[in-house]
A and B are shown apart, each in its own frame.
Chain A
Amino acid sequence: MFRNLKITCDQATTICDKNQYREASTKDKIRLCLHLIVCRICVKYSKQNTTLSNLYKGHSQYCKDVKHCLTTKEKEDLKALLEKNKE
């Protein structure tokens, strides 16, 4: 039974990444927990991953708050181009 739950570090970190978005399945979470009992390297990865997720979240908020606009000149150029290509 436990053999089915044994995973490699690559698989464990993949689940760990998926779990950062709360999209890992229950089975995967159990596999990850069992792996973390025996692998100190992946424990470190997991902790750092959580730290990074917090940074990404802050960055995400900043990026979403920035509104990008075309300049007036770019809009005028686009208008001219559309006019030229109109039927």
Chain B
Amino acid sequence: MIEEKHGLTPYKWIDNYADYLYNFTISRVNNSDLAKDLVQETFLAGLKSAKNFQGKATERTWLVSILKRKIIDHYRKINSKKGQAEVRMDFYDDGENKGSWLEEHVPQNWDNASEKQIENEELRNQLEVCINKLPEKYAMVFRMKTVQEFETEEICKELGITSSNLWVMIHRARTQLRKCMEDNWFNN
């Protein structure tokens, strides 16, 4: 059997690793249904490839490496939807004044900014609404870098992107978030 031959204990996987893998996934994709699907796929893939387990890493590390591949696959899937559902806002001129602010997107003064910075649930909810309005790949990279505070190198490795790609996405995400928070929180 699998467990005897390779030292794996699939009958204990759910009790030992399900919550860990679920937390790992949700910190990256922030969607509970998707996270559950990816965890399930990971366990099934683990069963299927149990014969390849060489015992060089721990069972958990091995399962996480399978899960990471599933997350990359998901990222590639959303990345290949380029331009389809992506609502990309242009904040800068693309013509004569290339790179300058477009008049309609120039940052406005924020009313009562200091009062509005007080941490509360309403603010967190608004922030989540704004993050969720971002194109999925931007939201994913932004969450990993800013919310989960992963190292740049780690994100690039996990998602198979360059650091230039990452900074472009972070910049676009933060520019859109600033505008969204300005419209819905600071000047609302």
Contact = CB atoms under 8 A, between A and B. Distances in A.
B149 interface: yes
Interface string A51-63: 1101110111011
B43 interface: yes
Given A9-B100, A68-B19, A82 B167 contact: no
A67 interface: yes
6 tightest A-B contacts by CB? A8-B99, A10-B99, A10-B92, A14-B171, A44-B107, A60-B147
Given A70-B18, A86-B10, A51 B113 contact: yes
A55 to B, nearest CB: 7
Interface of A: 7-11, 13-14, 17-18, 20-21, 23, 41, 44-45, 48-49, 51-52, 54-56, 58-60, 62-64, 67-70, 74-75, 78-79, 81-82, 85-87
Interface residues of B, number: 54
B106 interface: yes
A82 B44 contact: yes
Residue among B15, B148, B174 having the largest count of chain A Cβ atoms under 10 Å: B174
A48 B113 CA distance: 9
B99 A11 contact: yes
Q: Per DSSP, are chain B's interface residues mostly helix, strand or loop, or mixed?
A: helix
A85 B44 contact: yes
Interface of B: 1-2, 10-11, 13-15, 18-19, 22-23, 26-27, 32, 35-36, 39-40, 43-44, 47-48, 91-92, 98-101, 106-107, 109-110, 113, 117, 119, 123-124, 127, 145-149, 152, 167-168, 170-171, 174-175, 177-178, 181-182
Given A68-B22, A74-B36, A87-B2, A55 B43 contact: no
A87 B44 contact: no
Contacts of B13: 82
Nearest to A46: B107
Contact of A56 (B32, B48, B146): B146
Q: Per DSSP, are chain A's interface residues mostly helix, strand or loop, or mixed?
A: helix
Nearest to B24: A68
Given A18-B170, A60-B147, A86 B43 contact: no
A81 B44 contact: yes
A55 B117 contact: yes
A14 B170 CA distance: 8
A17 B147 contact: no
B92 A64 contact: no
